[in-house]
Amino acid sequence: MYIKRLLEKSLKEAIQSFPAIFIGGPRRSGKTTLTRTFLKGYNYVLLDESDVRSLAIEDPRGFLEKYPPPVIIDEIQNAPGLLPYIKARIDAHKKPGQWVLTGSQQWSLMRGISETLAGRIAILHLYPFALEEMQKILRPHLGVAEAFVEALMHSPKIPAKSVSLGRWFLVGGYPEVVLNHKVSRKLWFSSYLQTYIDRDVRGLIKQSNLHDFERFIRLLAARTAQELNCSTLSRDIGVSVPTIKSWLTLVEASGLVFLLMPYHKNFGKRLIKAPKCYFMDTGLVCYLSGHQVEEHALQGPMAGALFETACVSQFYKRFSALVDPCSLYYYRSTDGLEVDLLIETGRQIYPVEMKLSSTIDSGKAKSLVKWLEISKNKDAKGLIISSSKQMGLVGNNVVNCHYSLV
């Protein structure tokens, strides 16, 4: 069963505008399914197959003759030497939408694409399912962040088939886990982690460090939605701070995590400068942190962090898919004022708080009200994302919205 993706709108626009399109993202996020379903009539070649990969590496001209455009070249990271030859073909025939490249994001691959195909390629990112994709309530017409947030504030109806919080936490958004109810979640994520380490990590770090790297991922998962402290991770694992930073760059480039930077505008107070680290998928977080049942995920010590991770990652996925130029930050001052998420559009900044609670009152809106006061923007509004079904105004210019609508 194919589930429509938010990225389809941006992919359609890119196909009409650029000779080449690269779709990156974490492994198993649905890149092959999207391209083969959405781009019917294209030739398709998978560079995971050894004989095909050998041809691409040893005879790139012969490979491109055998698989002419329009073509989808899947797992391009297995034969990056093709890129200069694709560039030559593009320069000879600049017809849009002819070359669609997909691959697991790697720092070296992204650098090669940016340097070799600059000005010729659109770069898109596909992540595990966003909640609105899972619930089949796509709203691509709300592509601009301002329109989307404003829609959330006007008390829309909760979807009839909304995903339960416990399932959202444990299953996450990887298509194979979401769509196949018979799959063993524990076995799937175990295999996923091993494949990631074997294919994307093993060649980039010392063999002797692979065990420490797996410990690093597990400790990072336990700290999702927290400020990043490389010194603490260094001490806990027993490796240097530069090593921790290089590993962080690796998992970020792979699309497993993203960093939320602190808002940089000074409102006359000292601000915290460390970024917060979020995993892209709560299912992976639950596996790495040992959460096996919904009750533990919902009521355990990580429940709040899981809810914040789930919600913030939804905004990140949505705005990435629709190539929205908005920026995401968090805010924390040294005097204790904290806002989980700031969504900065061209005209407005929306402060957002995540509250894992079915009871939302004005007391839970205090930090948003305070932030609105110091921002001195009379038209600004704040948003609470919660598990409460009582949506609407809960404080001065602060609105509560149910998580299923994010």
Query: What confidence tens digit (pLDDT) does each residue in 37-88 have?
Result: 999 999 999 999 899 999 999 999 999 999 999 999 999 999 999 999 999 9
- The yes-or-no verdict on residue 371 having pLDDT over 80 is yes
Of the three residues 125, 148, 167, the one that is the final residue of a domain is: 125
Same domain, 156 and 64: no
Of 125, 151, 180, the residue that ends a domain is 125
**Mean pLDDT of all residues in 103-110:** 74
Q: Is the same domain home to 78 and 161?
A: no
Mean per-residue pLDDT of the chain? 90
Among 5, 371, 315, which residue's Cα sits nearest to residue 148?
A: 315
> Helix or strand or coil: residue 55?
helix
Q: Are residues 106 and 152 in the same domain?
A: no
121 φ/ψ angles, rounded to the nearest 5 degrees: -135, 140
Q: Do 110 and 238 fall into the same domain? A: no
Cis ω before 26 (30° cut-off from 0): no
User: In which band, very low, low, confident or very high, does the pLDDT at 267 lie, cut at 50, 70 and 90?
Assistant: low
Has residue 115 been placed in a domain? yes
CB 243 within 8 A of CB 251: no
pLDDT reading at 140 higher than 70: no
When mean pLDDT is compared across 105-109, 171-175, 255-259, 299-303, the lowest value belongs to: 105-109
User: Are residue 117 and residue 144 in the same domain, yes or no?
Assistant: no
Quote the Cα angle for 305-306-310, to 5°.
Answer: 115
What is the number of domains present in the chain? 2
For residue 349, the surrounding DSSP H or E stretch is: strand 349-355
- pTM of structure: 0.93
Distance CA 309, CA 314 (A): 8
Q: Is 80 exceeded by the pLDDT of residue 132? A: yes
Q: Is residue 144 classed exposed, middle or buried when 0-12, 13-18 and 19+ CB atoms within 10 A define those classes?
A: middle
Q: What is the mean pLDDT of residues 245-253?
A: 94
On whether both 67 and 149 belong to a single domain, the answer is no
Range of the domain at 232: 131-405
What is the Cα–Cα distance from 353 to 340, expressed in whole angstroms?
5
- Residue that is last in its domain, among 125, 159, 175: 125
**How is residue 48 annotated by DSSP?**
T
